[in-house]
Structure 1
Amino acid sequence: MPPRSPSPSPASPSSASPAAAPDPAAAEREALTVLLRAAGCVFAEDEAELILATARTPQEVADMARRRAAGLPLEHVVGWAGFHGLRVVVEPGVFVPRRRTEFLVDQALAAVPHASVVVDLCCGSGAVGAALAAALGPVELHAADIDEAAVRCARRNVAEYGGHAYAGDLFAALPDRLRGRVDLLAANVPYVPSDEVPLLPSEARDHEPLTALDGGGDGLDVLRRVVAEAPRWLAPGGCLLVETSERQAPAAVEAFTRGGLEVRLAYDEELHAHVVVGTRAAGRVR
């Protein structure tokens, strides 16, 4: 919301120095910051700026502040998230793309810089697919998720790139014509072990779908399912990229190896991000 001009103040006697005019915009920003800080928002000042920049009316500011103070993720409150230089639409109830997942995008672009067929599996908002398409230029882009709300949101984000989004369980959602043609298969699978889901921050636990978080007993159930079927969908030289945790990385690498993929593990210290990259060798498919 653009800053409002200060209200005119009464004329002061000529013998007195004029007092500085009050700044309603600054007062509003400060009041919002105080409210958010009291609600436990660590970055209250930055969040106040985002809300004020996004809201179109004072009523929207009040509504957004109330929802954020009640614990909704900031991205659900303002309706978007910054991801790999894009403003990605994030609707209520949809998994919020994490900054560390930008590393997965960077690794995908480095692995197959001339990809023409891209699939974003377990797509959530479709942020990864949109970011890949934005960087690669014209591509055939497909996204899929088991959550209907995520698919509706992803359709909005991939539409700009001519992409398609489908609802369904992993590869079952994809058109069969993609088999053996996928250059980049990005799968940001859920990888939180089931018994650790209750330990997640309430923003994730209470406001994001369980299907986007719970990866089963050791957190790798969905990853193993993806790796088992991926070689049938990858083009020769095509890559599968999956995010995981430091603790799970060795088991994830082992799953990729068993799946017949040439595997390497990439790590970004600043983001504390781990990405397993598997390549289908030319002429090799199980």
Structure 2
Amino acid sequence: MPVLPPLSASSSSASPPPRAGVVAALRAAGCVFAEEEAELILAGARTPREIAALVERRVAGLPLEQVLGWAGFHGLRIAVEPGVFVPRRRTEFLVDQAVARFPEASVVVDLCCGSGAVGAALAAALGPAELHAADIDPAAVRCARRNIVPRGGTVHEGDLFDALPGSLRGRVDILAANVPYVPTAEVGLLPPEARDHEPLVALDGGPDGLDVLRRVTTVAPTWLAPGGCLLVETSEHQTPQALAAFTRAGLTARLAVSEDLGAHVVTGTRH
């Protein structure tokens, strides 16, 4: 496998390793977009030693976003830390659907928030709003605070709605819940970047992938304001069961699909 030349203790002031060497090392490690990743790594490092360290972490299989410390999401740079779920570009479609459904939202909740990418993007798109985010994973909560607090929001730690202040009950206009929806038996089939470096609690959705979705839809109507909406991302083959769960909860359900992003978002409105 091509590797970068070893760096001595005095090499911090030396010329950076050539771009070609970085690209070769990334390509040999199986990085499909080696050229683009090399540009990001070279732009983000200040010294040859830092370049070598970042390349070493990426070659070892860490997600690029965890290597860089940030992910691009809905036009924002979202802080991402090791061991935290990396926001997917397809989830930008969920943000778009939320803004389209309730552009005047004044109370927003990002449930199962991970890095807080969805909440941060909603805050940026909607303007002034009361913003809350919650996750059960302490590492995710710490990371989300870096993205949510500067936008005037609050991040809570706990299991789904148990984490939220009771004062939100019946007041939420947009409830975005990017719940885990990978069936347990399929977690092992995920790319190593996700399987080995993201928390299982953010991936495993139970036997059919819909356990957490059902828990959320069952309780969500009591937290939504009249006209408020719950939005959940799911897979194509899960959409019939997801729509049924929304309907059983008394929500008016609809499905939106982005072929370009491969995204499927179920929205349920409280009337």
Structure 2 length normalisation: TM-score? 0.94
1:263 partner SS:
strand
Correspondence 1:57 to 2:57? no
Give 1:126 deviation, angstroms: 0.1
What is the alpha-carbon distance in structure 1 between the residues aligned to residue 20 and residue 99 of structure 2?
42
Which whole-Å deviations, capped at 9, do the CAs of 1:77-104 have from their partners, x for residues lacking one? Answer: 0000000000000000000000000000
Give 1:25 deviation, angstroms: 7.5
* 1:267 alignment counterpart: 257
* 1:278 alignment counterpart: 268
Correspondence 1:143 to 2:106? no
Give 1:161 deviation, angstroms: 1.1
* 1:44 alignment counterpart: 34
Runs of 4+ more than 6 Å apart: 24-27
Q: Which runs of 5+ in 2 are unaligned?
A: 1-13
Correspondence 1:202 to 2:192? yes
* 1:18 alignment counterpart: none
Give 1:260 deviation, angstroms: 0.2
1:41 partner SS:
coil
Q: Which runs of 5+ in 1 are unaligned?
A: 1-23, 282-286
* 1:86 alignment counterpart: 76
One-letter identity of the residue aligned with 2:155 = A
Q: Return the match for 1:75 from 65, 81, 106.
A: 65
Correspondence 1:216 to 2:242? no
One-letter identity of the residue aligned with 2:49 = Q
One-letter identity of the residue aligned with 2:32 = V
* 1:33 alignment counterpart: 23
Computing the radius of gyration from Cα coordinates, the structure with the larger value is: 1
| Stretch of structure 1 that moved more, 55-64 or 215-224 | 55-64
CA contact (8 A) 2:16 2:47 kept: no
Give 1:27 deviation, angstroms: 6.4
One-letter identity of the residue aligned with 2:244 = E
Which whole-Å deviations, capped at 9, do the CAs of 1:225-268 have from their partners, x for residues lacking one? Answer: 00000000000000000000000000000000000001100000
Give 1:56 deviation, angstroms: 1.7
One-letter identity of the residue aligned with 2:106 = S
1:247 partner SS:
helix
* 2:169 alignment counterpart: 179
Identity of aligned residues (%): 74
Which whole-Å deviations, capped at 9, do the CAs of 1:110-157 have from their partners, x for residues lacking one? Answer: 000000100000000000000000011111000000100000000000
Structure 1 length normalisation: TM-score? 0.89
2:237 partner SS:
coil
Correspondence 1:242 to 2:232? yes
One-letter identity of the residue aligned with 1:104 = L
